[in-house]
Amino acid sequence: MKNQGNGGGKQAAGIRAAGMVEDGSAIGLGTGSTVLYAMEEISRRISEGMRVTGVPTSHQAAIRARAMGIPLATLDDFPVLDLAIDGADQVDPSLRLIKGRGAALTREKCVADAARRLVIVADEAKMVSCLDAVVPVEVIPFAVTPVSCAITALGGTPVVREGMKKDGPVITDNGNFIIDCAFGRIPEPARLESMIEALPGVLSCGIFSGYAGKTVVIVGGTGGCRILSP
C-alpha cells in the first residue's frame, strides 16, 4: 500500500492495527490522531457486522467512539482486554515508549496493563535509538511543588503544562496537573520510571517500559507499514 506524506503513513498503520481486532473482542482505545484512523476502520467493520466493545482511555476517545457507533464499556466491565490500540510520542529499539502528549497517560497505562496485547501505531518520526522526549508526569495539584523539586533533583527540568484556549494548567480527565519533564537522553527508562512513580503525589509518568514483551508496533511510512515485535 502506497501512502503520501505523514498522514498517509498514520492512516495505513491505523488500518493495519484495526485489522488485528477480532470479532467479539474487548479492546482499549487510545487517545490521539493516529488511533483515530484505527477507530474509523473499526467503525466500518462494526457496520458490516463485527462485534467489538471499546474501553476508551479519555473523554476525547469516548466522544469519538460514540460518534462512530463503537459500543463502550469500562475496566470494571472488562478488567482483562484482548488488546489495546494506542499511539506513542517515542519508541526505542526495545519497544519502550514515551507517551502522554495528550495528557491521558494514567488511563492509557491502566489500559495497557489490562491488555493481553498492546498495539502501538506510530509513524517513522517516532522511532528513536534512545528515548529523549519530554516525560509527562501526572501529579495531584497538592504535590506539584515538591514533585517538581524532586524531578529537578533527578536531573530533570519540570514545567507545569499550560492549557490552550484556557488560562492556567492543563487539567487531566482525573482532575490532576501534568508536569512535563525534560531529561535529555534516557539510557535507563525503567529505572527513571520507577523513581518518578515512587514520588508521593505522582499518579504515573509517561515512560512505558514494562510492556515490551506484549507490544507490537505498527510503523507507517510513505512505503506502507512495517511491524516490530519482541
> In the prediction, which pLDDT does 1 show?
30
Q: How far is the CA of 21 from the CAs of 28, 38, 43, 84, 192, in angstroms?
A: 11, 10, 11, 9, 33
Q: Which residues are catalytic?
A: 108
Nearest Cα neighbor of 108 from 75, 77, 78, 132 is 75
Per-residue model confidence (pLDDT) at position 164: 87
Q: Which amino acid is residue 183, in one-letter code?
A: F
Rounded-to-integer distance, Cα 110 and Cα 84, Å: 11
Strands 224-228 and 177-182: unpaired
DSSP E strand stretches across 3-142: 25-29, 52-56, 83-86, 90-91, 97-98, 118-123, 135-139
The C-alpha cell that represents 32 in the structure block = 490521539
User: What is the model's pLDDT at position 200?
Assistant: 98
Q: What is the CA radius of gyration of the chain?
A: 17
d(CA 54, CA 25): 9
CATH number of the structural domain 5-127+210-228: 3.40.50.1360
DSSP H/E element including 8: helix 5-18
Cell numbers at residue 59, please? 473523554
All residues at 6 or more sequence positions from 133 whose CB lies less than 8 Å from its CB, including other chains: 89, 90, 98
Instruction: Say which CATH architecture domain 135-205 belongs to.
Output: 2-Layer Sandwich (3.30)
Please identify which residue in the block is written with the cell numbers 498522514.
7
Please name the amino acid found at residue 29: L
Listed by start position, the domains of the chain span: 5-127+210-228, 135-205
The pLDDT score that the predictor gives to residue 7 is: 61
How confident is the model at residue 2, as a pLDDT? 35
How many beta carbons lie within 10 A of that of residue 142, not counting itself?
A: 12
- What is the pLDDT at residue 174? 97
Distance CA 21, CA 128 (A): 27
Each of the 230 residues of the chain gets a pLDDT tens digit; together they read 333 345 677 888 999 999 999 999 999 999 878 899 999 999 999 999 999 999 999 999 999 999 999 999 999 999 999 999 999 999 999 999 999 999 999 999 999 999 999 999 998 999 999 999 999 999 999 999 999 999 999 999 999 999 988 889 999 999 999 999 999 999 999 999 999 999 999 999 999 999 999 999 999 887 788 999 98
